[in-house]
Amino acid sequence: MSSNDANTARIKKLTQECVDIVRTILVARREMGRLHDPELRQVHLPRASEEIGAILTMTESATNDIMLAAEDMMALDLSEPEFAAEQVNNACMRIFEACSFQDITGQRIANVLKTLQLVESKIEQLENAFAGAASVEPEVAEPVHTDAALLNGPALEGEGIEQDFVDQLFA
Amino acid sequence: MAVQMNMPILIVDDYRTMLRIIRNLLSKLGFTDIDEAPDGETALAMLKSRDYGLVISDWNMQPMTGFELLKVVRADTILKTMPFIMVTAESKVENVQAARQAGVNNYIIKPFSAAVLKAKLKAVLGEF
């Protein structure tokens, strides 16, 4: 083989490699485009962020209520035992009420976990797309059952209704 | 008719903390016979095995939600008149309306105070 033939073969090989790279990039871009999920960015992630904010606020408020109740008990005048016992009882009930934060924050954390699982699934699909694995199928949203659509968990500030409004409905 | 403070009450919630809170609040109010269930399905079995005077149920539970439990209770010939209070963090208007349409007697939004629970119990059961 002449030197010219060898160079031509090398150029052809390089050209083919470049074409393959461009093709891979185009496929990856197309797959990434199919993974684009505006709802994740515009709804789920901001919601998760707000849920975490609400968890912080609620745990702080509950901690404060529990500490106030404990401080009230510590400050009791024990020279009147019956009155003191009643005050201790009331303070204990305030602590119980405050502990309901665990239920609400648990539900909020569950909502955040759902978003994290969504992100995880998107990352997995991206990995598959770049690895040239099976083509990424666009996600088809499952139809939401009517009752399931009512399961939203705790509302964020300004979203839900107050107990007074509920009371009006039941009046 | 005066409320029987020894009537059996069933509280249903998948959070043990909330079961304890409601149990303690009910005890504080004078109720003495309180049972607990961690989900709708268990609650339904318990309702069929004992004559309860009141159900206080959360909404968001698995495998059977409190809303499903309410609908099953209202469809049951024996249980259909059972006083049923929903205590839930679901605070959208559509939730309250759906529960009301399904026959709930009252609806309490979490978190709630002992005073709110007492007021709703009075509204459903009468003065005590």
Omega into A138 within 30° of 0, i.e. cis?
Answer: no
Three-state secondary structure string covering B3-67: CCCCCCEEEECCCHHHHHHHHHHHHHHCCCCEEEECCHHHHHHHHHHCCCCEEEECCCCCCCCHH
Rounded Cα distance between A21 and A41, Å, is: 30
Q: Place A1 in a pLDDT band, splitting at 50, 70 and 90.
A: low
Rounded Cα distance between A20 and B38, Å, is: 58
pLDDT > 90 fraction of chain B, expressed in percent and rounded: 89
pTM of the full structure: 0.78
Mean pLDDT for all residues in chain B: 95
Q: Where are the domains of chain A?
A: 1-36, 38-122
Contacts of B18 (CB under 8 A, 6+ apart): A100, A102, A103, B58, B87, B110
Q: Where are the domains of chain B?
A: 9-123
Architecture of the B9-123 domain: 3-Layer(aba) Sandwich (3.40)
**Min distance B100 CA to chain A CA atoms (Å):** 8
Between residues A26 and A50, the one the model is more confident about: A50
User: What pLDDT is attached to residue A149?
Assistant: 84
To 10 degrees, what angle do helices A101-130 and B16-29 make? 170
Q: Given CA atoms A155, A159, A164, A170 in this order, what sign does their dihedral have? A: negative
Q: Count of A–B CB contacts within 8 Å? A: 97
Instruction: Indicate the range of A10-14, A70-74, A144-148, B43-47 predicted with least confidence.
Output: A144-148
pLDDT > 90 fraction of chain A, expressed in percent and rounded: 49
- CB of A16 within 8 Å of any CB in chain B? no
Q: Which residues of A touch B59 (CB under 8 A)?
A: 150-151
Give ipTM to 2 decimals: 0.78
- CB of A132 within 8 Å of any CB in chain B? no
Contacts of B74 (CB under 8 A, 6+ apart): B80, B84, B102, B103
